[in-house]
């Protein structure tokens, strides 16, 4: 799949955001190895800290379906520059993706920052740290 298509999928995912508190909608589109695209949106809660970001929603949907191998991620929000995933999402992304996997951070104006999982979270805590 071309990356502009994946970025467009993230905009479609964004339309489902449940954001009565922040009114800040975010969408994510996670491309799996077999070509399936998992949509994620942010899902807020009156107990604010229970909010789930768009990125983690997309990952948890895929993982819960038994899908663990990913090729790319696109994220979009109505930000001035390319959206910047929060720390919690960076850690979840690092858990399930190779450091070299491309991540496309975008906004509604069409700005695109192409980065990688490793660039998003240098020094991520990982399973190696657990000495398993
Ligand atoms: O990368 C991001 C940044 C923020 N949010 C959500 C969390 C909250 O619902 C709203 C404002 O922080 O945006 C995401 O889903 N992803
Ligand atoms: Zn997040």
In the reported structure, the alpha carbon of residue 24 is separated from the centroid of ligand 1 by a whole-number distance in angstroms of: 7
Q: Is the pLDDT of residue 78 over 90?
A: yes
Cα separation, 99 vs 122, whole angstroms = 9
Catalytic residue among 9, 15, 55, 95: 55
Cα separation, 131 vs 116, whole angstroms = 25
Any idea what the Cα angle at residue 109 is, between residues 58 and 49, rounded to 5°?
Answer: 40
65 is catalytic: no
Where along the chain do its domains lie? 3-130
- What is the share, in percent, of the chain residues with pLDDT greater than 90? 97
Q: How many residues does the chain have?
A: 132
Residue 1: its pLDDT value, please?
72
Cβ–ligand 1 contact at 44 (below 6 Å): yes
**Which ipTM score applies to this complex?**
0.99
Q: State which fold the 3-130 domain adopts.
A: Cytidine Deaminase; domain 2 (3.40.140)
């Amino acid at each position: 799949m071309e990356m502009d298509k994946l970025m467009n999928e993230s905009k479609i995912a964004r339309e489902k955001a449940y954001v009565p508190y922040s009114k800040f909608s975010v969408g994510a589109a996670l491309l799996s190895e077999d070509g399936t695209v998992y949509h994620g949106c942010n899902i807020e809660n009156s107990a604010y800290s229970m909010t789930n970001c768009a990125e983690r929603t997309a990952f948890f949907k895929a993982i819960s379906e038994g899908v663990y191998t990913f090729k790319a991620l696109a994220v979009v929000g109505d930000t001035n520059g390319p959206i910047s995933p929060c720390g919690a999402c960076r850690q979840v992304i690092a858990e399930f993706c190779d450091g070299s996997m491309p991540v496309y951070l975008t906004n509604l104006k069409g700005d695109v920052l192409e980065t990688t999982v490793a660039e998003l979270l240098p020094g991520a805590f990982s399973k190696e740290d657990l000495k398993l």
